[in-house]
Structure 1
């Protein structure tokens, strides 16, 4: 905590903020104190309005992943933002996802995940559950199997984040065991996503400007 507070109080906008944001854990007990620090930095004009909003949005996403991991036991949750211009994914909140996969997914080109004749990745269309990544022959398994398995993930479930029919990104539940996702799981996953979609749609550009 002291390291993060010291850095936040002293920094001027550099790459350090990206490192700070990546270190904030979903279960961070002093998040209210951290929010106060963000506000204080903004009021003192140490950080810009865009940076302040990005930090607030990052905290929202971290709380969301904590909620998801509480509801879906033994799973890791990641939130990924879609850059429609670059056709890339950026890690919005994935601090409990395996580091190997985080390194792979941050700035990942997803051109090969976009079906012919479409303009967004397939997981931007609807919820997709993959029970066995190793044996999967779907586009997601084929494109990402190697890195998922290297990170010990055997099953995944992807759910789009969208608002006003526009893709914001998607969330993923990762399992290190073969898992059959039930219809109730898929419906719950979709409902939880709705909790953050409107807010994230408004703040996506600010957050991308900081985490990229």
Structure 2
């Protein structure tokens, strides 16, 4: 049965999973969940994913939420190409970089947090954008330094890993919110390298956006 990805085109977490599926050559059906219209809160979707979040992947008779859990499952069951190095030290380094994005940057800037800032907390658009820029800039500064000693074409060496799957969607977000990237030449270079890879390019929100 063809895997089904419950997806929102601008979701960073969904974007990571689309890249992983593409890199591994896994055909899948996209099931759009429009976060702006609140589709994730509808009872029918809550039955599929009690968290009411995206992504969720239906695969092998399972329903797997959370992007890093999905990618770990795909890497374990469809191991080529691997997204984590076989060397434990290298794998720990990749996980550390991936989690810098997935745990320390992205959650502070996701839609739920931003809506709370501009809703109950009463912050205006300018303050929201300062909030976004602060956490992306702080996280990217750490990631640039972490990657520098061992980076190649990608964040570790010359092949994509889980860390790159997390970086690329966050770079998209940074540009979307006009966060300056001049201080992050390594991250910018890796992002450009990824953009030349069709598996990454085909997962870009502009390529998967619903028709107007």
Normalised TM-score (structure 2):
0.29
**Larger strand percent:** 1
Normalised TM-score (structure 1):
0.29
Identify which of structures 1 and 2 has the higher relative contact order when contacts are C-alpha pairs closer than 8 Å and 6+ apart: 2
